[in-house]
Amino acid sequence: MTLSMGVSGGISEETAGTGEVIFPEGFVWGTATASYQIEGAANEDGRGPSIWDTFSRTPGKVFAGHTGDVACDHYHRYRDDVAMMADLGVQAYRFSMAWPRIQPDGSGPVNPRGLDFYDRLVDELHGHGITPLVTLYHWDLPQALEDRGGWTSRETAERFAEYAAVAYGRLGDRIATWTTLNEPWCSSFLGYGAGVHAPGRTDPGAAFAAVHHLLLGHGLAVAELRAAGAAQVGITLNLAPISGDDPEAVAHIDGLQNRIFLDPVLRGEYPADVVERARRFTDWSFVRDGDLDIIGAPIDVLGVNYYSPTAVRLRAGQPANPVHPGSEGIAFVQGDEEKTAMGWSVKPSGLTELLTRVSRDYPGTPLIITENGAAFDDVLADGRVADERRIAFLDGHFRAAHAAIAAGADLRGYFVWSLMDNFEWAEGYAKRFGLVHVDYASQRRTPKDSALWYREVIRRNGLQA
């Protein structure tokens, strides 16, 4: 089953708020994870070091010095995890492949034992009737490539395309939907601009070079995947609706958060206003003739990760937010909505706004929500996690997605982040996003109430009144 097949049938009358909503027939319900966040086995079967192995070992970078060395031990427990997904009725599973497991140095020799793991995983998924959706890059860049410049170097984009071809060569017969990158905004602006993610660099000019080479890697990989016969190719972007009273401030942040990725991928051009604003930090000389044609090659599906909206306002003297280069005088403000354990506003309507905006401004590409979910301070008591807030969060966001479909968005599926609690990057294991609770000491998995609730949503293909 491909994930961007047309969904058939109309949708029920939109009954906002609390009524029953039924999604189109063929709508795909899934869960999502990422290699470094769940696999563990960091030094097993030939896996090479990634930038997150290095970063998490750098004092002060990750909460309590947590690392992904063991994580959820999914590398060894994948059969039980897949069986658990099947029990929850999950129809599709979004996971990422660890580039350093497949090419330990990021180029050259392929590690067959790394490919063997994904072979086993994909066969297990198919054995349970679960459709795989793969992300080729979810932030675990081989350290050897970072040592040669990482995403600031054009070479990394070229190596990424080679890695994509290797992965497809082994698994292309069993994976229909291939997404190249997860959230290049995080890889570039958090990793090279603000330094709060691996590799921990704080150079805005490097961040813009990373933006370009990540996107170039995407385009070169799409070409490789197409040549190899991939059925569906795409990319996942973390996007947010930007609100505020000052149009210039909104445009600035919308440009850096959304349009710097959407425009090249879906229009084959960088937004002119972003290019001009960024000239303080870069001369864009890393962009070569033909690059934008490569980056803008057609894709079959756009993955959208949505968590929370962004609100900005002018504030005299406000220093730049290092995550958003050139944002002096722009304050990021929080509304009085409920907050998650990450401190993010809970605003389901932001998802409707985002999906309808993308559909309006970038028509013609089917959408999949590749991540949406929330961290809350879950408590396991007597073998149960009564995570009502997560149920309410998901209920609201599912309804918001349904409203977007009713407004014309071509939304094909929804992957809840995350299948299970996992390594939450700089937050380590302190933040729990999972539908399934993980006791890291015992590795015991306990489906939370939200998982059992989600099973019913999937069974109904919608929500009860």
Ligand X SMILES: N#[N+]C[C@@H]1[C@@H](O)[C@H](O)[C@@H](O)[C@@H]2O[C@H]12
Catalytic positions are: 371
User: Does residue number 93 form part of the binding site for ligand X (CB under 6 A)?
Assistant: no
Q: Which residue in 132, 110, 111, 129 sits closest to 121, CA to CA?
A: 132
> Cα dist. 46→96, 99, 167, 168 in Å?
18, 12, 16, 20
Q: Which is nearer to ligand X, 71 or 278 (CB)?
A: 71
Query: From the CB of 70, what's the least distance to ligand X, in Å?
Result: 17
Query: From the CB of 390, what's the least distance to ligand X, in Å?
Result: 13
Query: From the CB of 374, what's the least distance to ligand X, in Å?
Result: 9
Radius of gyration of the chain (CA): 21
User: Does residue number 31 form part of the binding site for ligand X (CB under 6 A)?
Assistant: no
Q: Which is nearer to ligand X, 67 or 305 (CB)?
A: 305
Number of residues that bind ligand X (CB under 6 A): 9
Query: From the CB of 399, what's the least distance to ligand X, in Å?
Result: 21
Query: From the CB of 417, what's the least distance to ligand X, in Å?
Result: 5
Q: Which is nearer to ligand X, 107 or 180 (CB)?
A: 180
In 10 A of CB 324, how many CB atoms?
22
Q: Are 286 and 213 in contact (CB under 8 A)?
A: yes
User: Does residue number 433 form part of the binding site for ligand X (CB under 6 A)?
Assistant: yes
User: Does residue number 140 form part of the binding site for ligand X (CB under 6 A)?
Assistant: no
Q: Which is nearer to ligand X, 164 or 186 (CB)?
A: 186
Structure tokens at 368: 């999949």
User: Does residue number 378 form part of the binding site for ligand X (CB under 6 A)?
Assistant: no
298-313 burial, b if ≥16 CB within 10 A, otherwise e? ebbbbbbbbbbbbbbb
Q: Which is nearer to ligand X, 96 or 365 (CB)?
A: 96
Query: From the CB of 422, what's the least distance to ligand X, in Å?
Result: 7
Q: Kindly tell me which residue out of 183, 254, 353, 410 binds ligand X, with binding defined by CB under 6 A.
A: 183
User: Does residue number 182 form part of the binding site for ligand X (CB under 6 A)?
Assistant: yes
User: Does residue number 436 form part of the binding site for ligand X (CB under 6 A)?
Assistant: no
Q: Kindly tell me which residue out of 417, 429, 453, 454 binds ligand X, with binding defined by CB under 6 A.
A: 417
Burial class (CB in 10 A: 0-12, 13-18, 19+), 25: exposed
DSSP H/E element including 248: helix 247-254
User: Does residue number 254 form part of the binding site for ligand X (CB under 6 A)?
Assistant: no
Question: Could you write out the DSSP letters of every residue in 352-374?
Answer: HHHHHHHHHHSTTS-EEEEEE--
User: Does residue number 371 form part of the binding site for ligand X (CB under 6 A)?
Assistant: yes
Cα(98)–Cα(81) distance, rounded to whole angstroms? 18
User: Does residue number 429 form part of the binding site for ligand X (CB under 6 A)?
Assistant: no
User: Does residue number 185 form part of the binding site for ligand X (CB under 6 A)?
Assistant: no
User: Does residue number 387 form part of the binding site for ligand X (CB under 6 A)?
Assistant: no
Q: Kindly tell me which residue out of 34, 38, 92, 157 binds ligand X, with binding defined by CB under 6 A.
A: 34
Q: How many helices (H) and strands (E) does the chain have?
A: 16, 17
Q: Which residue in 414, 384, 317, 382 sits closest to 21, CA to CA?
A: 414
Q: Kindly tell me which residue out of 91, 131, 177, 305 binds ligand X, with binding defined by CB under 6 A.
A: 305
- Report residue 359 CA to chain centroid gap: 19
User: Does residue number 135 form part of the binding site for ligand X (CB under 6 A)?
Assistant: no
User: Does residue number 365 form part of the binding site for ligand X (CB under 6 A)?
Assistant: no
Cα(383)–Cα(446) distance, rounded to whole angstroms? 7
DSSP H/E element including 179: strand 177-182
User: Does residue number 96 form part of the binding site for ligand X (CB under 6 A)?
Assistant: no
Cα(219)–Cα(285) distance, rounded to whole angstroms? 18
For residues 204 to 243, the per-residue mask of contacts with ligand X, x marking binding by CB under 6 A and - elsewhere, is ----------------------------------------
Query: From the CB of 460, what's the least distance to ligand X, in Å?
Result: 26
User: Does residue number 421 form part of the binding site for ligand X (CB under 6 A)?
Assistant: no
Q: Which is nearer to ligand X, 270 or 423 (CB)?
A: 423
Query: From the CB of 183, what's the least distance to ligand X, in Å?
Result: 5
User: Does residue number 340 form part of the binding site for ligand X (CB under 6 A)?
Assistant: no
Burial class (CB in 10 A: 0-12, 13-18, 19+), 433: buried
Q: Are 302 and 277 in contact (CB under 8 A)?
A: no
Q: What's the sign of the alpha-carbon dihedral 111, 112, 113, 117?
A: positive
Amino acid in the structure at residue 244: G
Q: Locate tokens 């599906």: which residue? A: 301
Residues engaged in binding ligand X (CB under 6 A): 34, 37, 182-183, 305, 371, 417, 424, 433
